[in-house]
Amino acid sequence: MAKGQLTARFVVCIVLCWFLPVTTYSQQIIKLQEGKNTSIRGLSVVNNSVAWISGSNGYTARSIDGGTTWSWNQLAGYEKFDFRDIEAFSATDAIIVSAGTPAVILATSDGGRSWQEVYRNSSPDIFLDGMDFWNRKRGIIYGDPISGKMQLLQTEDGGKTWKDISQNLSVPLMAGEASFAASGTVIRTLKNGEVFIGTGGVQSRLFFSSNYGRTWKVTDIPIIQGQSSTGPFSIAFRNRKNGIAVGGDYLKDTVRTRNLMLTNDGGVNWTAPQIPPYGYRSAIEYFTSNTVLTTGPTGTDISSNGGMTWKQLSSDGYNCVRKAKTGSLIILAGSKGKISKLTM
């Protein structure tokens, strides 16, 4: 082979090797901002323009330009509250729920400039975990058990008032079985009154109602469990049958053993993935029927086959990830006010 040909091939090889790492994935995580003194776990993306977040130290924020800029608000009188979940309906209307005691629910109708407290529970045992809505009017909140009974609240007027429906769930939770307020996504509503709720700790189970929480069915989730730090930290269902539960052990956040399970029959049976995510993960979201993203403190992983195999997209970790209810905007958020977006 001529020396010139050998040199040319060497140059081509170097060029290909240089570009290979950046062209492995078409998706990119773009950091939007960071540095606010809040850990974000509440995230709601309305459309390609409007997104809201909520977090610790009483912070909320809203973007109306697809995440490029954010308007922050530390709620007066709630500086010590941790708002673990948020549900937004538009650029003006949203609802937030706090974790811990007292439990409060606040609503805004002016873009987050002012908030009205619509619910308060000062019981020393109350701890609300997450919230989801079937539509603009009907929503549900669940919380850790009190005397073995999962706490359930429901609204039928867009969050203005909340009714305790805990008595509808007759199945008791075991001592040490509760849930995780990690990303507001261990509860998922679907159409026609369907709702899934996951529990963890000493026992991991899936609770399902097909009639707005009036009656419930319960099945086991064979994800890692048995300790207070283990179980599902997020669930996602693309329909009543096909879903994913992800989590792990947040005290051993790089362990990949039984940290994700898949179901195609509504939680009756579960299958482990061929290649699991790369550690404990606190949030999961479908973007298409096959494309799924999961994230946690040690990184962000993506699957292109419905969750059967996973590749690490980034070592950058977040608490939560959500896709726009209407549109394609995908936002991730985490500790120290970190907010990013995913480009597909």
CA distances from 3 to 6, 11, 87, 232, 334 (A): 5, 12, 65, 59, 54
Q: Which domains are assigned to the chain?
A: 26-343 (2.130.10.10)
DSSP state of 208: E
What is the three-class DSSP state of 58? coil
Number of other residues whose CB lies within 10 A of the CB of residue 108: 21
CA distances from 10 to 4, 6, 21, 22, 132 (A): 10, 6, 18, 20, 56
> Residue 10: its pLDDT value, please?
40
Beta carbons of 142 and 133 less than 8 angstroms apart? no
Give dist(CA 198, CA 75) in Å, integer.
Answer: 30
The residue type at 326: T
Identify the H or E element spanning 132. strand 128-133
Give dist(CA 238, CA 290) in Å, integer.
Answer: 10
DSSP state of 5: H
Tokens (6 digits) for 306: 């419905």
Q: What is the DSSP code string of 269-324?
A: S-B--SB--SS---EEEESSSS-EEEEETTEEEEESSTTSB-EEEES---SEEEE-
Predicted TM-score (pTM) of this structure: 0.92
Contact residues for 253 (Cβ-Cβ < 8 A; gap 6+): 279, 280, 296, 297, 298
> Residue 25: its pLDDT value, please?
57
Match 């790369």 to its residue by tokens. Answer: 278
The candidate with the shortest Cα–Cα distance to 54, out of 75, 35, 25, 34, is 75
> Residue 26: its pLDDT value, please?
83
> Residue 344: its pLDDT value, please?
80
CA distances from 324 to 71, 183, 287 (A): 19, 16, 9
Give dist(CA 297, CA 105) in Å, integer.
Answer: 27
Q: Mean pLDDT in runs of 10 for the chain (344 residues)?
A: 43 37 67 97 98 98 98 98 98 98 98 98 98 98 98 98 98 97 98 97 98 98 98 98 98 97 98 98 97 97 98 97 97 98 92
Number of other residues whose CB lies within 10 A of the CB of residue 10: 10
